[in-house]
Chain A
Amino acid sequence: MKIVSMLAKVDPDNCIGCQTCVRVCPVKAIKVENRKAVVNIERCSGCAACEQRCPQYAIAMIKRDEPKVVKVDVNAVDYGQIEKLCGEAKLHPEQIVCFCTGTRAEEIAAAILQGADSPEEVSHRTGARTGCKVECIQPILRLLEAAKVKLTPPKDGWQWYGRTVTVWEIPKAVREKYNWRGFYFDEDAELLDKVISAPKQERRDI
């Protein structure tokens, strides 16, 4: 869940239509029309990725007149399905995947089960990956992949490129070759397995 209080605003006099903002927007809320960036106010998640990367400093973040609440109702989905999807992605349902918005794996899973079929759509519906824009792309991709969604990066975009390795997938030869330097591959895989199978804390109302 995220309360979106900010909004990107383009200064058309400074915008050169370079498309950088389009390429970095995690919810695809910007397009360029007539060589000027245009923000979809309804869709903007206030993450400031565009403002932070615009080479012309042509975007400012302004306060929304009314904050927008972005949330997927976990209770609207069979929790058994959520648990199954999280399990296949090797995540505990209550595990936090977005540290900025506090979004848990269960909410991402619920969004996917309700039809979100890309990281951008997941971010639009849950608010995840609209804080720092960096740290939560992998668990989102893992959950989409577990749901058998075909992962195709946005054309010409820099939003994301691909899912990467997990600790369970590190080849045995690599583990044996390097473990003596303090990487604890097997122990960490075991730790994450324990987290995944930990009891839920059940407070599903918050």
Chain B
Amino acid sequence: MRAPIKPLPPRKSQYGIDPTLVKRRVSELPGMTSVMIKELFPDFPDVIFPSGVGVALVRQATEKALANIDMSCIKPEHSVNILASHHGFTLLGGEPYAEMLKTIKDVIEKKTSCKDIRLRAGVGLRFRETEEYIKRYGLDEYFKGKAIGIAPIDEGIPIETEIGTLYGLRRAYDADWIVHAHNSDVREVHFHRQVDRAVKPFGMSYARIETRSTYHQNMGPRAANFIARAIFDSPFVQKKFAFASFLTVAPNGIIGVDADSDLYALNDRVTLTGCRYYGKVMTLFGQIDECIAALDFPCPVVYVFAGGIIYANFAGANIDLYDLDTPLPPYTWYTEAFYGKAGRPLLDNIPLINPAIKMCVHNYAWIGYPVSFFSEHIPTVVVGREQADLFNRDPQNLTYMQHAVIADTTETAMEFAYNVTGTRNVLIFDGAPGGINVSVPLAELLLKKAPEVDRRVEEELLPKWLRQRGMQKFVAA
């Protein structure tokens, strides 16, 4: 079997423990191996990152994608806000996304002679996260001091939409033009269900708390996705929107850069690749009957990656998250909200967390996202007292450790998990680029199941998913 892939190293951040405290990665333990995504699904596209030439191909792809974008609306005396989001910086180390942002700035400058180009980088629930990335990737210098992080509690601006007033962040829109600089990685399928994924930041990263709360509390699990569209379609945003540039991503890496002045055309392309490529890995993960999930990545618990799939989605892999006829995934905030005081769902047909996850070994993950629901419903072992203390100080996770136990080392945590669960299947969420780090028995299972999953997605599931999203014209494609 193949050696494990070297995972992304721990990152220094106010949201994680000191990287020196991460003594051992789960993939370094005996019995671990790796499976390349293209071994599982040979039809996946080739990647431009990782590659032997660093991010040079990302710059090249961005320049090529932007070459045909009409930027004549941007005059030399205008101002432009390039709108970015934290998540892009978690993809494959973050350099590809940072390079796309830098290239967008350079191309706008070159094509329009505009000099007042700013970076506005939105966040989720860790309000200084993009400040950290801006420093790490030298974006503050690159944008000549005009790069800032924006958070959902910052000053707002009302935006009149077809469904009433919603609220954006003032500093996202304080320029003549905005450029939507995002990525096509699916990430929170449990929330967006691959409906208007390309539009979502208008209701999240660039939006105020009122809007985000509307999405998560006022609408329902599928209707919520209309919020971003309502904002994007508003006259206020339309008047400022110049174009969008997306780092396009598949579970095996960065596959290119896509840009368009028509966000909905780009959205259709993103929907197609999101359903086809991520849908296959997600469906494959749904075939795992039992395993230990090991978290080992510099991100909050829900966002750690394996094969491009985040842990929050694996927690729902017992159902088809892409099937919109299923209203509630086993994990989303609507689902969590609908657990009553006895600790079970208020409705009998609300699906429970993926029963294949027999235990979670939390070797390394960040705070800054409420995840007590996970330790309440999945037996969880956290490695190291320092990590437990960090969670106990986090106002979003004050009860996470009430339901978890602490192990001194990665080795003892895994030993405990093996003994208690009886399974030797281990799925490691460590963001291994190009593949998945797993235990040998799980590698064998994934390789065995992949061909049938591939056929099923192509012939049965993908056509259904596309029809549900009004994309019949792509069904034969």
Contacts and interface: CB of A to CB of B under 8 A. Distances in A.
Interface of A: 2-3, 5-6, 23-24, 45-49, 52-53, 61, 63, 92, 94-97, 99-102, 104, 130-139, 142, 158-167, 169-171, 174, 178, 180-185, 187-189, 191-192, 194-195, 198-204, 206
B223 A100 contact: no
Contact of B324 (A136, A182, A191): A182
B395 A99 contact: no
B370 A132 contact: yes
A199 B346 CA distance: 7
Interface stretch (B100-108, B156-164, B240-248): B156-164
Contact of A202 (B151, B226, B342): B342
A2 B339 CA distance: 18
B167 A161 contact: yes
B39 interface: no
A17 B219 CA distance: 39
Interface in B263-294: none
17 contacts: A24-B153, A52-B151, A94-B346, A97-B337, A100-B396, A136-B213, A137-B209, A164-B164, A166-B219, A167-B220, A170-B223, A182-B222, A183-B223, A184-B223, A188-B222, A200-B340, A202-B342
A89 to B, nearest CB: 11
B372 to A, nearest CB: 7
Nearest to B218: A166
Contacts, number: 208
Contacts of B223: 167, 170, 183-185, 188-189
B23 interface: no
A138 B154 contact: no
A203 B468 contact: no
Contacts of B211: 164
Contacts of A199: 346
Contacts of A46: 395
A189 B334 CA distance: 13
Interface of B: 125, 127-128, 151-156, 158, 162-167, 193, 195-196, 208-214, 216-226, 229, 324, 327-328, 333, 336-342, 344, 346-347, 369-370, 372-373, 392-393, 395-399, 468-470
Contacts of A163: 210
A194 B347 CA distance: 8
B153 A94 contact: no
B395 A131 contact: yes
A160 to B, nearest CB: 6
B227 to A, nearest CB: 8
B395 A48 contact: yes
B341 A171 contact: no
- A163, A181, A189: most-surrounded residue (chain B CB, <10 A): A181
Given A164-B210, A182-B468, A198 B222 contact: no
B210 A100 contact: no
Nearest to A3: B398
B166 A164 contact: yes
Contacts of A165: 163-164, 166, 214, 218-219
Given A182-B468, A183-B226, A162 B210 contact: yes
Question: Which among A23, A134, A160, A187 has the highest number of chain B CB atoms within 10 Å?
Answer: A134
Contacts of A104: 341
A181 B333 contact: no
Most A CB within 10 A of own CB, among B209, B223, B344: B223
A134 B226 contact: no
Among A92, A163, A188, the one with the most B-chain Cβ atoms within 10 Å of its Cβ is A188
- Nearest 5 CB-CB pairings of A with B: A188-B220, A201-B340, A201-B342, A138-B213, A184-B222
Contacts of B153: 24, 49, 53, 133-134, 158-159
Contacts of B328: 191
Contact of A134 (B152, B327, B336, B469): B152
A6 B395 CA distance: 8
A188 B152 contact: no
Given A5-B393, A198-B347, A182 B193 contact: yes
B324 A99 contact: no
A92 B100 CA distance: 45
A95 to B, nearest CB: 5
A69 B393 CA distance: 15
Given A134-B152, A162-B165, A201 B344 contact: yes
A135 B346 contact: no
B229 A204 contact: no
B470 A182 contact: yes
Contacts of B163: 165, 169-171, 174
A106 to B, nearest CB: 9
Given A184-B223, A184-B324, A191-B328, A134 B346 contact: no
A52 B132 CA distance: 12
Contacts of A101: 398
B219 A6 contact: no
Nearest to A178: B226
A202 B343 CA distance: 11
Contacts of B220: 167, 184-185, 187-189, 191-192
Contacts of A198: 340, 346-347
Given A138-B214, A184-B324, A195 B393 contact: no
A185 B156 contact: no
- For B164, B341, B369, which residue has the most chain A Cβ atoms within 10 angstroms? B341
Nearest to B212: A134
A195 B349 CA distance: 11
Contact of A136 (B217, B226, B340, B341): B217
Nearest to A188: B220
Contact of B395 (A24, A130, A162): A130
A68 B373 CA distance: 23
A167 to B, nearest CB: 5
B370 A131 contact: yes
Contacts of B338: 92, 95, 195
A167 B216 CA distance: 11
A76 B92 CA distance: 53
B13 to A, nearest CB: 13
